[in-house]
Amino acid sequence: MNVSDSVVIAVYRLNLGVGTKEFVREVYKLAIESSPASASILPLPLKPLRDFTSGRKNYGSYRRAIKTLTTKVSAVVNSERAYVGPVAMRYGGNTFLSVVEVMSGAEISRKFIKYGEGFKGHIPRLPNVIVGGISMCFLLLDDVFYPEAARYCAESGSTLLVGIFPPIADLDSELAVAAARLRAFENRVNVILLGGYVKDRSTPTVIVKRDGSVVDIADDTRSEVIEIQLTGESAIRPRSESMYKRFAKMLKILNNLNV
């Protein structure tokens, strides 16, 4: 794809308080009504994660349920690729929240967490994903509040930050919108903050341009697909090795403080 070609990103705003079958039906209904996209981004329903973190399901049962869910999502989305989160992943004695590519099951980005502190933590690893000439970097939950995480993404060559922001922890929605605008402005990158809703609360879905201006915002209890068209020419931003290493080191220090 040439740098001047357009890339369509399908951002799903969904009811995250439903069961797996109802969730997949809703995704399918929205997908058949939307245009084909280069990539789809979806928050996952919260019940499986809550069952795991509360001890109602062990990790093996949780992972099998998530694999079944992501397989069904990959079959119904109307795009070449799809990314979902948050997914709990275990490596040794540590647990992470991750963003997963649904077609391959590969982990894209991860966030160290502590369950007892409202899923607080920082990002130890942030690989970029290239989709049609757009370099995307994924954030999770409160990562948007940390300038170092956004700078790490930007200095690694990202031109689009995607923060998955479901109503799973006690996070301030108004501050999150302000933080998304600030991250966009200070790094000159586009920002997508991907929220969702459950019965008693909602987190915003926000699209922010590189100058910090809000293109679209949704904070109601209505499921929809927001289609975002970007141009590949924004992907010519070079990676700054020295700055990338500097902010990677800062994130490791911050993460160690939270262990």
User: What pLDDT is recorded for position 3?
Assistant: 45
User: Quick check: is 149 in a domain?
Assistant: yes
- Percent of the chain that is helix, strand, coil (3-state, to 5): 35, 35, 30
SS3 (DSSP) at 66: helix
The count of structural domains within the chain is 1
Phi, psi angle pair for 140, to nearest 5°: -135, 135
User: Quick check: is 1 in a domain?
Assistant: no
User: Quick check: is 217 in a domain?
Assistant: yes
User: What pLDDT is recorded for position 2?
Assistant: 42
User: What pLDDT is recorded for position 95?
Assistant: 80
The residue range of the domain holding 110 is 6-257
N- to C-terminal Cα separation, the chain: 42
User: What pLDDT is recorded for position 108?
Assistant: 87
Q: What is the pLDDT along the chain (259 residues), one digit of tens a residue?
A: 344 578 999 999 999 999 999 999 999 999 999 999 999 999 999 999 989 988 899 999 999 999 999 999 999 999 989 999 999 988 877 788 899 999 888 888 887 666 555 555 556 566 688 888 888 999 988 889 888 888 888 888 889 999 999 998 777 889 999 999 999 999 999 999 999 999 889 999 999 999 999 999 999 999 999 999 988 665 556 666 777 677 777 776 666 655 4
User: Quick check: is 58 in a domain?
Assistant: yes
Phi, psi angle pair for 139, to nearest 5°: -120, 160
Can you give the CATH number for the domain in which 195 is found? 3.60.110.10
User: Quick check: is 37 in a domain?
Assistant: yes
User: Quick check: is 157 in a domain?
Assistant: yes
SS3 (DSSP) at 95: strand
